[in-house]
Structure 1
Amino acid sequence: MRATGGAMGEKSKYQGVWDILVVDHNLVDREVVRRSLALSKMETRFREASDLDQARRALHADPASCVLVDLSLPDGEGLELISEFPTLPFIVYSGRDDEPTTRRARDAGAYDYLIKGGLAQDSIERAIRYAMERKAHQSVLHRLANEDRLASLGRLAASAAHEISTPIAYVSANLSVLSDSNRQVETLLRELGELKDPRVDALIASHPVTRRLGETHRLIDDSNDGLAHITSLVGQMRSFARQPDAKEPPTTIDLNAVVNGACRLTGHAVSVRARVERTLAPRLPRVVGRSGELTQVVANLLMNAAQAVELTVPRKRIWVQTRVREGAVELVVDDEGPGFSEKAKLRAFDPFFTTKPSGEGTGLGLAIAGDIVEGHGGSIHVEDRPGGGARIQVVLPAAAQRVSGVMRKLPTPEEDGHLKLLLIEDDELLREALSRVLRPHEVLATTAEEALEAIDRGREFDAIFCDLMMPHVDGQAVYRYLEEHHPHLLGRMVLMSGGAVDDRMRSFVRTIDNPMVRKPANRATLLEAARRASRRPQRLA
């Protein structure tokens, strides 16, 4: 196979140069096509192959914009290429001028069928332009279908995250109460032991409660670890749904923790195809950003690497490394796949560009990763891995100042005295669980309608926790009611969200300065939010 440059004529309305591969065993026929392209007004790069084997190798190394293929070749039929490369536009040409052959070529997926005896410059140019325009049209339809599918997936993921967050919240709250009860029992037993009564000591030593206390602590700790893992997965579902928290500011993040979280998220899907080996730098400087978005970057890189490697026994390997660089941190993902062609390297981060077979990739994984990395002030690029395969390297600026030393101790809500709290939540189980968590403070946990009735009757609260997404009366409706009728309470409002926030609600959240608590939230988070809300200045009517 050899390649030559095409003539430079009128600039194509498509980006770049049209890369035309002509597959024909007849040198004269290939030359006819080459000369026709040279005389055309199209900007082309001409390549040629004399049989199927050469064509396959050429297309695997560098896919063409359009392929002209002879029907009859020394090692098979040209139609075989169409089924092997279904995403490429093919024009079949042959010396056979009959309807059955033409129909068979078109049924196989050919965009056009030309007769060799009547080949002319204008007919070749017209066929190529038609094929490219048809391909462009199909690409637009495919992109729209992908966008619709991804939007539906995003809505589903956000809804699932919201539905999961509510039961997680009340299970977590109940475990917190159980843990407090355990500690109270331990305190009671310790105080009884201080009485120095032999009968009491004997009873404590022999009672099953004494023997089970340690085990109960371990059970609660294990349950909390499980909930933390589920909570992490829910957060990652939100990030994949492209619904970042509108109130979430960038924070300093441990990139090693992000890598570990992404490995857990993609564990099953990746482990089917490859073994992931992690080498994480100790004492890695932190970076500034949003952990959900960076988790998505790492997860996309892992999935891209897993899809690139062949299924083999033993499985291929993927290496994930973090490194320290001057003023920055580096993430490197290597794989044992075929690597990137030179063309793929140039377009790797283009939206919808993919080298995977139809149905195996949207072409958005690396594009999304690139956008997120650039949004974090970093860079991302692809290269060949020494020894074969692909390497993707991400560089992120290190945080300007690492948080060190002892944080200033803030007064606890208990130190601030007894709080009167209003909890507006549509889920009854969560209301009950959070009420138990917030004891001994005074808590009214109820629905939005009953909460507003209590406020109308003159009841005052130090803080108002309100779920954002509720049926009938939601968080925005509660805010607007307070804004109109009780504006002095607006500063006391703390929003709560499980993640399923639609465009209307996101727009609302951006326009206000009230804090938001992400479900599930622990006791310390809730009471700290309540303390801050109780100290915010009241708004004048």
Structure 2
Amino acid sequence: MAVRIPDNAASAAEALLDIANAMSSTLELKQVLKIVARRAAEAIGAQRCSISLWQDGRLVPVMSQFADGHADPGLWTKFRALGPQRPEELPTYAQALGTKRPVAIDDVTDPRWLAFGARAVLMVPLLRQDTVVGTIHLDQGEPYHWTQAQIDFAMTIANQAALAADNARLYEQVRAQLRELQETQAQLLQAGKLAAVGKLVAGVAHELNNPLAVVLGQADLLSQHSSDPDVLRRTDKIRTSARRAAKIIRELTTFARPQPAAVADVQIEEVVEHALELRRQALSVRGIALTFDAAPDLPLLHADELQLQQVVLNLLLNAEYAVAESGRPPHIMIRLTGEADSVRLIVSDSGSGIRPEVLPRIFEPFFTTKPIGEGTGLGLSISFRIVEAHGGRIWAESPPGGGATFTISLPAIPRTARSVERPASERKAHVLVVDDEDHVAETFGAIFEALGHQVTVARSGQLGWERLSACGAQYDLVTLDLRMPDVNGATIWERLVAARSPLAQRVAFITGDIVDAATQQFLESTGRPFIGKPIDFNQLADLVRTAP
């Protein structure tokens, strides 16, 4: 037999009081709706009360309570399994939402209601400022006549439930805004750290890159002028160590403020091959299968080869770690695909994948899932910044079945725009080297001479300007250091432009500091090539080869 509603108003008042207390004590929607549903069923005299909320054009079941408080997990699971439903799928819902009025059915015949043991249903829309936010429905286990008093009281309960839902919505909005504010605050703090690192790196990089340029340049010259195997072996060790030191500085400068330092036409397949050569032996020893597939005739990129190689290595090392920790057959797959205006590098692994809560944060600086001491959290962050600085995009995907895929898309040089470079042997250039550090200037001059070019060295900015402003000055290439105490490279460039000198189009900047924002902005504004110190024999050869 169905429970009858009490005749006195005390029970109804007590139910409303409990609901009001619940709404004032918490803004957690499920807790409030649980009390609403149970107290409504109990006060109205229904067997059960269920609540659905409006989400994205559908009704989603969120709460169901029996009047006596007992639980029926099987029935709740069945109720939740209905999932989001369109109102038109159930006539009772459609009628209540369409009219915005209660719908009372004393004897249910719809098999969908009967499947839940409901023989009588009272459906009431939840309205907030005349907008439907959901439904509340009460049911009985056998045919039952709903009185007007019950319907009126159900509408009162529905108003309270609608208010609770609206409050919860506002509460979630505030929480979301608070989270966004906290994330923004964290990003600002991180930006402050990066700015401090950037200032430190800017100063250190310039001071270290100049002596490294001398070491690397002299080692290159020595190897060019000697055939002694022992000398060549030792110079190779010098070059390797100097490049290692340069790489450390480059990583710091990239992290602080990434900018392609030595931009040239690059074949991405060669970049990947060079990176793989560094890890192929280690992968083989660890039993990790490696597959590399490159599409034929990929377009060239205008990029910094060393920085792109660093990105590939970072992704490869991440993949190594992932497959080693997963317990699955280790396999890393690298693919290169090309389109008319871009190239895609895709690195996939057979690891356990990236957890959904981790995926949005993997490119954040200092974020790592590795144990303490095994990761700095900078690898993917640096990769992201390098790719971004090259005008590209990088993103990660991790399907439910496991494994992770990192995809990089980089702009390619249009095939019609590829320059045809003349072999170095076809031209003998006159090069003016302007640098205030004697050893650097001498080293660069010696390298250009070893390449067969005529060289004039100016050991200060002022001397360089005097050479450039002299009557009849003719140079095929002018290398300008930016930081010089008397007249800096930027000033010399601006003077050349102001004088409309054709030598302005012969300038290439060589600097130990490309971290500073103002320096970057200036270099980009000139439209002239620039290289970050330290540089080697081949880079200087390329400068002459590509000079106008």
Query: TM-score, normalised on structure 2?
Result: 0.54
1:153-188 alpha-carbon deviations (Å, 9 max, x no partner):
4555555554443222111221233234425xxxxx
Instruction: Trace 1:1-20 onto structure 2 (pairs within 5 A).
Output: none
What residue is the counterpart of 1:450 in the other structure? 463
**CA distance change for structure 1 residues 235 and 403 in 2, over 3 Å: closer, same or farther?**
farther
Instruction: Trace 1:419-458 onto structure 2 (pairs within 5 A).
Output: 419=430, 421-439=431-449, 441-453=454-466
The correspondence for 1:132, drawn from 163, 172, 176, is: 176
Q: Is the 8 A contact 2:354 2:403 kept in 1?
A: yes
Q: Residues of 2 paired with 1:493 and 1:333: CA distance?
A: 43
Q: CA deviation at 1:217?
A: 2.2
Q: Residues of 2 paired with 1:324 and 1:493: CA distance?
A: 35
Q: Is the 8 A contact 2:362 2:368 kept in 1?
A: no
Letter matched to residue 468 of structure 1: L
Q: CA deviation at 1:513?
A: 4.3
What residue is the counterpart of 1:482 in the other structure? 496
The correspondence for 1:145, drawn from 171, 181, 189, is: 189
1:2-60 alpha-carbon deviations (Å, 9 max, x no partner):
xxxxxxxxxxxxxxxxxx896x8x99559679999967999998989xxxxxxxxxxxx
Q: Residues of 1 paired with 2:489 and 2:318: CA distance?
A: 39
The correspondence for 2:519, drawn from 491, 501, 505, is: 505
Q: Residues of 1 paired with 2:207 and 2:288: CA distance?
A: 32
Q: Residues of 2 paired with 1:46 and 1:262: CA distance?
A: 53
Root-mean-square deviation (CA), in Å? 5.7
Letter matched to residue 320 of structure 1: I
Q: Residues of 2 paired with 1:284 and 1:485: CA distance?
A: 48
Q: Residues of 1 paired with 2:196 and 2:276: CA distance?
A: 23
Letter matched to residue 336 of structure 1: G
Whether 1:323 and 2:335 are equivalent positions in the alignment is yes
What residue is the counterpart of 1:382 in the other structure? 397
Q: Residues of 2 paired with 1:30 and 1:300: CA distance?
A: 55
Q: CA deviation at 1:446?
A: 0.5
Q: CA deviation at 1:238?
A: 4.6
Number of residue pairs matched by the alignment: 397
Whether 1:169 and 2:179 are equivalent positions in the alignment is no
Q: Residues of 1 paired with 2:508 and 2:246: CA distance?
A: 21
Letter matched to residue 179 of structure 1: S
Instruction: Trace 1:219-230 onto structure 2 (pairs within 5 A).
Output: 219-230=234-245
Q: Is the 8 A contact 1:177 1:437 kept in 2?
A: yes
Q: CA deviation at 1:528?
A: 5.9
What residue is the counterpart of 1:519 in the other structure? 533
Q: Is the 8 A contact 2:434 2:480 kept in 1?
A: yes
**CA distance change for structure 1 residues 148 and 336 in 2, over 3 Å: closer, same or farther?**
same
**CA distance change for structure 1 residues 153 and 411 in 2, over 3 Å: closer, same or farther?**
same
Q: Is the 8 A contact 1:413 1:528 kept in 2?
A: no
Q: Secondary structure at the match of 1:384?
A: coil
Q: CA deviation at 1:219?
A: 1.8
Q: Residues of 1 paired with 2:195 and 2:287: CA distance?
A: 31
1:510-531 alpha-carbon deviations (Å, 9 max, x no partner):
3334443443344465366457
Q: Is the 8 A contact 2:198 2:515 kept in 1?
A: no
Q: Residues of 2 paired with 1:522 and 1:362: CA distance?
A: 27
The correspondence for 1:257, drawn from 263, 268, 271, is: 271
What residue is the counterpart of 1:75 in the other structure? none
Query: TM-score, normalised on structure 1?
Result: 0.54
**CA distance change for structure 1 residues 528 and 326 in 2, over 3 Å: closer, same or farther?**
closer
Q: Secondary structure at the match of 2:230?
A: helix
**CA distance change for structure 1 residues 362 and 47 in 2, over 3 Å: closer, same or farther?**
farther
Q: Is the 8 A contact 2:298 2:338 kept in 1?
A: no
Q: Residues of 2 paired with 1:30 and 1:374: CA distance?
A: 57
Q: Residues of 2 paired with 1:491 and 1:402: CA distance?
A: 23
Larger gyration radius, structure 1 or structure 2: 2
**CA distance change for structure 1 residues 516 and 362 in 2, over 3 Å: closer, same or farther?**
closer
Whether 1:178 and 2:178 are equivalent positions in the alignment is no
**CA distance change for structure 1 residues 532 and 278 in 2, over 3 Å: closer, same or farther?**
closer
Q: CA deviation at 1:423?
A: 2.2
Q: Residues of 2 paired with 1:364 and 1:160: CA distance?
A: 24
Q: Is the 8 A contact 1:158 1:237 kept in 2?
A: no
The correspondence for 1:279, drawn from 262, 268, 291, is: 291
Letter matched to residue 216 of structure 1: V
Q: Is the 8 A contact 1:464 1:493 kept in 2?
A: yes
**CA distance change for structure 1 residues 478 and 321 in 2, over 3 Å: closer, same or farther?**
same
Q: Residues of 2 paired with 1:434 and 1:158: CA distance?
A: 23
What residue is the counterpart of 1:5 in the other structure? none
Q: Residues of 1 paired with 2:221 and 2:482: CA distance?
A: 25
1:217-276 alpha-carbon deviations (Å, 9 max, x no partner):
222234334444555555555544443238836x342346347549969x99x9xxx997
Q: Residues of 2 paired with 1:480 and 1:254: CA distance?
A: 35
Q: Residues of 2 paired with 1:36 and 1:129: CA distance?
A: 25
**CA distance change for structure 1 residues 500 and 282 in 2, over 3 Å: closer, same or farther?**
closer
**CA distance change for structure 1 residues 510 and 256 in 2, over 3 Å: closer, same or farther?**
closer
Q: Is the 8 A contact 2:267 2:300 kept in 1?
A: yes
1:73-97 alpha-carbon deviations (Å, 9 max, x no partner):
xxxxxxxxxxxxxxxxxxxxxxxxx
**CA distance change for structure 1 residues 286 and 160 in 2, over 3 Å: closer, same or farther?**
farther
Q: Secondary structure at the match of 1:340?
A: coil
Q: Secondary structure at the match of 2:222?
A: helix
Q: Residues of 1 paired with 2:221 and 2:391: CA distance?
A: 41
Q: CA deviation at 1:389?
A: 4.1
Q: CA deviation at 1:214?
A: 2.4
